[in-house]
């Protein structure tokens, strides 16, 4: 791991813990105490964290709502980026990939852009990005544009019957051993139309969502083929999810 990767990891650790000490850096990145202190000092000089006695604390910045133009301001950005990289690695040339809405979905779309995969989405920011970047194979699922969610919704129950995919990547507001929860009913119903059309359902959520039960149950845990989340996710919940037969990838 080079210095840039280590600094990114330290900032990601701060996103999750808010305050860390030198021992945290030594343990997580296998470096000497002197290197850990130099990393803190350098990141402090760059204004990316606040140096405190024997450690560092996160600089609290009032974040704007994320958009494709400021994606790096989204909460848990570093962890979501790692999740997106791991998710993209699952896809093979020629695969058809369904990507739903959200910041992690957008990061995944960025990773897959220009690769030999077909991307199916109803998420307007992602579709716009892929088109602007000249991604060769994009399918936009049509319907009425919902400005609040930045997605297209089609009320017809058979509107997605003609589409199929090797992978479907989706997220949510919470994930427990019972399943994946989504806060917005319209979005959930729209995505549920696709679940039966795909080979593998992959849930991509940052570790802060693990153990949260928020909104409506989108699908039970035993319907989830793969979960990709952060390594700091609640281990008891992760173990319960694995017991349902879900493959869990921690990043």
Q: Show Cβ contacts of residue 139 under 8 Å, excluding neighbours closer than 6 positions.
A: 118, 119, 120, 121, 163
Strands 55-57 and 151-153, by their bridges, are unpaired
Other beta carbons within 10 Å of 76: 20
Q: Do 212 and 175 touch, CB atoms closer than 8 A?
A: yes
* pLDDT tens, per residue, the chain with 251 residues: 688 888 988 988 888 788 999 999 999 899 999 999 999 999 999 888 999 999 999 887 655 445 565 676 677 889 999 999 999 999 999 999 999 888 899 999 999 999 999 999 888 889 999 998 999 999 887 666 676 667 776 655 555 555 668 999 999 989 999 999 988 777 777 787 778 789 999 999 999 999 998 888 999 999 999 999 999 899 999 999 999 999 999 99
Distances (CA, A) of 193 to 104, 160, 188, 197, 214: 21, 6, 9, 8, 21
Whole-angstrom distance, CA of residue 234 vs CA of residue 215? 20
The first and second tokens of residue 81, run together, are 């980026």
Other beta carbons within 10 Å of 136: 12
- The per-residue pLDDT for 140 is 86
- The per-residue pLDDT for 64 is 47
Which of 53, 16, 44 lies closest to 232 in space, CA to CA?
16
Phi, psi of 144 (to 5 degrees): -80, 135
The first and second tokens of residue 242, run together, are 């694995």
Whole-angstrom distance, CA of residue 39 vs CA of residue 22? 10
Q: Could you tell me how far CA 79 lies from the centroid of its own chain?
A: 8
Across the strands, what pairs with 219?
180
Alpha helices in the chain (DSSP H): 3-17, 22-29, 33-45, 77-90, 103-112, 124-132, 185-195, 235-243
- The per-residue pLDDT for 153 is 67
Q: Do 127 and 140 touch, CB atoms closer than 8 A?
A: yes
- The per-residue pLDDT for 70 is 66
Which of 65, 73, 57, 82 lies closest to 5 in space, CA to CA?
82
Q: Angle 83-85-91 (CA atoms, 0-180°, nearest 5)?
A: 110
- H or E stretch including 165? strand 165-170
């Amino acid at each position: 791991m080079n210095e840039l990767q280590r600094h990114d990891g330290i900032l990601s650790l701060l996103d999750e813990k808010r305050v860390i000490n030198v021992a945290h850096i030594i343990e997580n990145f296998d470096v000497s105490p002197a290197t850990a202190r130099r990393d803190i000092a350098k990141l402090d000089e760059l204004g990316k964290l606040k140096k405190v006695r024997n450690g560092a604390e996160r600089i609290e910045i009032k974040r704007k709502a994320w958009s494709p133009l400021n994606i790096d301001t989204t909460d848990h950005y570093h962890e979501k980026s790692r999740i997106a990289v791991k998710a993209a690695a699952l896809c093979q040339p020629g695969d058809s990939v369904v990507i739903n809405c959200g910041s992690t979905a957008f990061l995944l779309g960025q990773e897959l852009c220009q690769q030999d995969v077909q991307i199916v989405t109803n998420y307007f920011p992602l579709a716009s990005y892929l088109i602007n970047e000249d991604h060769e194979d994009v399918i936009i699922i049509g319907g009425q544009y919902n400005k609040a969610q930045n997605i297209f919704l089609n009320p017809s129950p058979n509107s997605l019957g003609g589409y199929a995919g090797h992978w479907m990547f989706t997220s949510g507001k919470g994930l427990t051993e019972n399943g994946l929860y989504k806060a917005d009913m319209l979005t959930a119903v729209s995505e549920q139309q696709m679940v039966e059309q795909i080979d593998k359902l992959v849930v991509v959520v940052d570790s802060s969502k693990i153990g949260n039960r928020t909104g409506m149950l989108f699908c039970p845990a035993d319907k989830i083929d793969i979960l990709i989340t952060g390594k700091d996710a609640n281990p008891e919940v992760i173990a319960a999810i694995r017991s349902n037969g879900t493959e869990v990838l921690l990043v």
